[in-house]
C-alpha cells in the first residue's frame, strides 16, 4: 500500500475511503509556527509571462545542470525549498521551481484548466522563456511530485524534447504510481471536504499542516504552507486553489502513466515513500533495467518536505551516476535508511 493511501499526506491524493481527519498530533510547547521567507532558500524569483498568464518561478544556483521541479496538486514551488538547499550543497546544479497554474503566486486568466495538455504547454512555455537564449542546450533533469510527477512524465514524453535550448537528460517521478493513484481518486472528494475550509492566520495553517501529519518537517511547513493559502476579504486564509474544481482532470493526470513513464528516453528514477506496489508493466520495466527505483522509508507523501536531505542524496547520486554533474567538495552522501 502506498503512502498516498496510508496517510493524509497529500493535498491532491488522499487515502481511499477517508471520511474524517486523522487524530491530530500534539506539538511541542513553544514551537515556532512563524512563516519563513522564500529567500532563505532560493537566490531569486522571477515572473514569466506566457500569453498574458504570469507564472512565478523560484531559482537557485548559477552553474551545472538544471533540476526543473514540478510540485503536486495544492502545493507550490516552495515545496522544494528545503530540498534545493540540500541538493545545491551536494552537487553542482541549478534549481528551477515554478508555481504551476492556479498555484502559489502564479496568476492565469483561466485557472480552472488544469488539464494535462494545458499544464504541459505551461511547462514548455516556462522552459522556452528561461532557456531559449542559451547558445548551448541546457541539460535539464525534470523532477515531479504526485500530480507534478505525472506531468513530468507526460511532458518529457510529448513535448519537452522539442524545446530549443533545452536538452532533457533525466526524469525523476516522486511517490506516484498509476495503479495507486487511480485507486486513491475515489476518496479524494471526501478528503478535500474534510479539511478546514479556512484558517485565522498563516501560523494557524502551518500548525494544522504539522498537527495533521500533512508534513512532518517544521522548517518545510513554515516555508511551504503559507503559499498554499491566501487571505480574502473576510480576513480568513482560504486555500489558494479549490482542488475540487480540478476533478474533471484527475483521471487525465494519471491514466496511462506507467507506459508513458517507461517510454521516456532519458535515464529515469522512481522515488517511493516506503513500499509500494508496482503494476505489471512497471515490474517488467524494472526487471529489464529501464528505470531505477528508490524507497525512502518512514516519510509521508510529501517526500521532499519530510526528508529533504535523503531525497537530495538520491537526486545527487542519480545525477552523478549518469555523469550529469559532479559532487561538491568530496561530500559523503548519507547512508540510505532501512
Residues paired with 238 in a beta bridge: 198, 230
The answer to whether 257 and 179 have CB atoms below 8 angstroms apart is: no
Please give the chain's pLDDT, 338 residues, in tens. Answer: 344 444 433 433 433 322 233 445 666 656 889 999 999 999 999 999 999 999 999 999 999 999 999 999 999 999 999 999 999 999 999 999 999 999 999 999 999 999 999 999 999 999 999 987 767 889 999 999 999 999 999 999 986 767 778 899 999 999 999 988 998 888 999 999 999 999 999 999 999 999 999 999 999 999 999 999 999 999 999 999 999 999 999 999 999 999 999 999 999 999 998 766 788 899 999 999 999 999 998 899 999 999 999 999 999 999 999 999 999 976 666 655 44
Distances (CA, A) of 310 to 210, 234, 270: 20, 41, 14
Q: 174: part of which helix (H) or strand (E)? A: strand 166-174
Collapsed DSSP state (helix, strand, coil) of residue 184: helix
CA angle 274, 178, 192 (to 5 degrees): 80
Q: What number of other Cβ atoms are within 10 A of residue 215's Cβ?
A: 23
Contact partners, residue 32, CB within 8 Å, separation at least 6: 218, 222
Phi first, then psi: what are they for 215, rounded to 5°?
-135, 145
**Domains defined for the chain, CATH in brackets:** 3-321 (3.40.50.1820)
The answer to whether 268 and 162 have CB atoms below 8 angstroms apart is: no
The alpha carbon dihedral of 320, 155, 53, 75 has a sign of negative
Does 146 participate in catalysis according to the annotation?
yes
Q: Considering 301, 306, 307, 313, which one is annotated as catalytic?
A: 301
**H-helix segments, 134-288:** 147-158, 178-184, 188-194, 202-211, 218-224, 250-254, 257-263, 280-287
**H-helix segments, the chain:** 3-6, 81-90, 116-131, 147-158, 178-184, 188-194, 202-211, 218-224, 250-254, 257-263, 280-287, 303-306, 308-321
In angstroms, rounded to a whole number, what is the distance separating the alpha carbons of residues 30 and 12?
A: 31
The answer to whether 232 and 153 have CB atoms below 8 angstroms apart is: no
Q: Considering 7, 99, 122, 175, which one is annotated as catalytic?
A: 175
Strand pairing category for 166-174 and 268-273: parallel
In angstroms, rounded to a whole number, what is the distance separating the alpha carbons of residues 145 and 155?
A: 14
Residue from 134, 162, 160 nearest 63 by CA: 134
Does 258 participate in catalysis according to the annotation?
no
Does 157 participate in catalysis according to the annotation?
no
Amino acid at each position: 500500500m502506498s503512502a498516498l493511501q496510508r496517510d493524509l499526506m497529500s493535498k491532491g491524493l488522499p487515502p481511499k475511503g477517508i471520511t474524517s481527519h486523522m487524530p491530530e498530533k500534539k506539538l511541542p510547547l513553544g514551537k515556532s509556527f512563524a512563516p519563513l521567507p522564500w529567500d532563505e532558500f532560493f537566490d531569486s524569483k522571477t515572473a514569466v509571462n506566457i500569453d498574458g498568464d504570469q507564472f512565478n518561478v523560484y531559482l537557485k544556483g548559477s552553474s551545472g545542470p538544471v533540476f526543473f521541479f514540478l510540485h503536486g496538486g495544492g502545493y507550490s514551488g516552495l515545496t522544494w525549498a528545503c530540498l534545493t538547499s540540500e541538493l545545491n550543497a551536494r552537487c553542482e546544479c541549478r534549481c528551477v521551481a515554478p508555481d504551476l497554474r492556479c498555484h502559489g503566486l502564479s496568476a492565469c486568466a483561466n485557472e480552472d484548466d488544469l488539464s494535462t495538455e494545458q499544464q504541459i504547454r505551461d511547462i514548455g512555455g516556462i522552459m522556452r522563456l528561461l532557456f531559449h537564449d542559451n547558445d548551448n542546450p541546457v541539460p535539464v533533469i525534470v523532477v515531479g511530485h504526485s500530480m507534478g510527477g505525472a506531468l513530468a512524465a507526460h511532458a518529457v514524453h510529448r513535448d519537452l524534447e522539442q524545446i530549443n535550448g533545452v536538452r532533457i537528460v533525466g526524469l525523476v517521478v516522486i511517490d506516484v504510481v498509476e495503479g495507486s493513484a487511480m485507486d486513491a481518486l475515489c476518496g479524494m472528494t471526501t478528503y478535500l471536504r474534510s479539511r478546514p475550509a479556512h484558517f485565522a492566520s498563516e501560523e494557524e495553517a502551518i500548525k494544522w499542516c504539522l498537527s495533521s501529519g500533512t508534513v512532518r518537517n517544521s522548517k518545510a511547513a513554515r516555508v511551504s504552507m503559507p503559499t498554499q493559502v491566501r487571505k480574502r476579504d473576510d480576513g480568513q486564509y482560504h486555500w489558494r486553489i479549490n482542488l475540487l474544481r480540478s476533478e474533471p482532470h484527475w483521471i487525465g493526470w494519471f491514466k496511462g502513466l506507467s507506459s508513458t513513464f517507461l517510454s521516456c528516453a532519458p535515464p529515469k528514477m522512481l522515488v517511493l515513500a516506503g513500499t509500494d506496489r508496482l503494476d505489471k508493466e512497471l515490474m517488467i520495466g524494472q526487471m529489464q533495467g529501464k528505470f531505477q527505483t528508490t524507497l525512502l522509508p518512514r516519510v509521508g507523501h510529501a517526500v521532499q518536505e519530510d526528508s529533504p536531505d535523503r531525497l537530495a542524496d538520491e537526486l545527487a547520486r542519480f545525477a552523478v551516476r549518469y555523469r550529469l554533474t559532479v559532487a561538491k567538495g568530496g561530500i559523503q552522501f548519507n547512508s540510505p535508511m532501512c
